[in-house]
Structures are given as structure tokens and as C-alpha cells.
Amino acid sequence: MAPELRAIRPWLAALTLLVLSACAPNNLFVLLEDDNGKVGSIQVENDAGAQTLNQAGQATGLDRAGQEPVEPFVLEEDEIRDVFGEVLDAQPEPPVTFLLYFRTGTSELTDESQALIPEILRTIDGRETPPRIAVVGHTDTVGAASVNASLSLERARTVRDLLLRQALDPEMVELTSHGEGNPLIPTADETSEPRNRRVEVTIR
């Protein structure tokens, strides 16, 4: 390399950095497509202004506190990896959820759901790190909310007891119930909806 070129090399490197930092503000917000291929939206707001991101790869940001978030721009996948590769790789194994269904007004599992138990146990065995297992009871909106609160708990207990009978460590299993407050299919009150009469077993 010619001596004069060698002399400007550090300057070139500095210039490259400058160009890069000009592309991406110090404080940076990037929307991604989620693991199911869906793109949500985030709003980035401060006293100076606000921007909404609603497309995959869209970004905004600002260099210093008090500045307005810049007009959204698109970052390419390799640019995103340059800045965020480490944190992207740190995402834990996604949770897996099984849905078990019940006969109306009871804590009796349907036959199909009963048959899912062995698969749940296999999934637990196959996790990368020792999992936590959440057993959460739900009801549809038929009947009083208070009755559904206790019915959803009874359903969760039925499933937990089934799992514990398969020699699962009770320390791994957490029991909760959401009554009619967390429907899978949103409905009006007093609506019979088999898909909402469920226990969700989530392996995290």
C-alpha cells in the first residue's frame, strides 16, 4: 500500500464508522416479524415527538435525549444482526402450549384431550433447559363469573393431578386459573363456547 494511503487508513475507518452511525441513531428501536410470521406495531414517543413502526425491519431512533424520534427507515437483516445478533441469539426456546378441553360445566376431560397427556410428557422431556409447567384453568362465559372462577380452578387441578401421577416433580408445576376472564375465543356473556372450556398446559 502506498505510504499516503496508509496514512489516511485510520481516517477511512473513522469515516466508515461515522457513516454507519449516521445510518443508525445511538438509541434505536426496530420492529421485527414474530416467530409466527406476524408483525405487530410499536409507538416510540417522547416530549419532542412520536413515531409508529408497523412493518418488519422498520426502525426509528434518536441520538440524544430531548431529540425527536426520526422518520421511520428500513434496516436490512444483516444490519440488524450487526447491532443485535447477540441479543437475538439469547432468546430462550419459545413456550409450547397444549389445550385440553372439558365437558360443559364439569371438570371431566374430553377423550381426545385425555389422549394428549403422553405427548405433553414427551415435550417436557425434550426441552433444552429444565422447564416450568403452568397449568391454567379457563371457562366459557355461561354462568356466574364467581362459579366459573372456581370451576376453572377445579379443571386446572384435574390436569395437574393427572400430570403428577406420571411422576412429574411437583416443584415444576404451577397451578392457576383465569375463570372466564381470558377466553381463547372472545364472546358475549352467557355464551357456550367449547374452545373456551379449557386448561392450558404451557411448557416454558
Q: Which of 18, 20, 144, 145 binds other proteins (CB under 8 A)?
A: 145
Q: What would the grid cell of residue 132 be?
A: 416450568
31 lies in the binding site for other proteins (CB under 8 A): yes
Phi-psi region at 72: left, alpha or beta (left = phi > 0; alpha = psi -120 to 50):
beta
Which residues fall within 8 angstroms of residue 199, CB to CB, at 6 or more apart? 99, 100, 102, 135, 136, 137, 138, 155, 156, 158, 159
**Taking CB under 8 A as the criterion, which residues in 157-196 touch other proteins?**
174-182
Please identify, using beta-carbon distances, which residue of 21 and 114 lies nearer to other proteins.
21
Binding string to other proteins for residues 114 to 143, with x set by CB under 8 A, is what? ---------------xx-x-x---------
Helix pair angle (117-125, 145-164), 10° resolution: 60
104 lies in the binding site for other proteins (CB under 8 A): no
Please identify, using beta-carbon distances, which residue of 110 and 150 lies nearer to other proteins.
150
Nearest CA to 199 among 107, 104, 105, 94?
Answer: 107
Instruction: Please state the closest distance from residue 132 (CB atom) to other proteins, in A.
Output: 6
**Taking CB under 8 A as the criterion, which residues in 38-77 touch other proteins?**
38-46, 53, 61-62, 64-65, 67, 69
**Whole-number Å distance between alpha carbons of 39 and 54:** 7
Indicate the DSSP class of residue 102: B
Q: Which residues bind other proteins (CB under 8 A)?
A: 26-35, 38-46, 53, 61-62, 64-65, 67, 69, 80, 83-84, 86-95, 97, 129-130, 132, 134, 145-146, 149-150, 152-153, 174-182, 202, 204
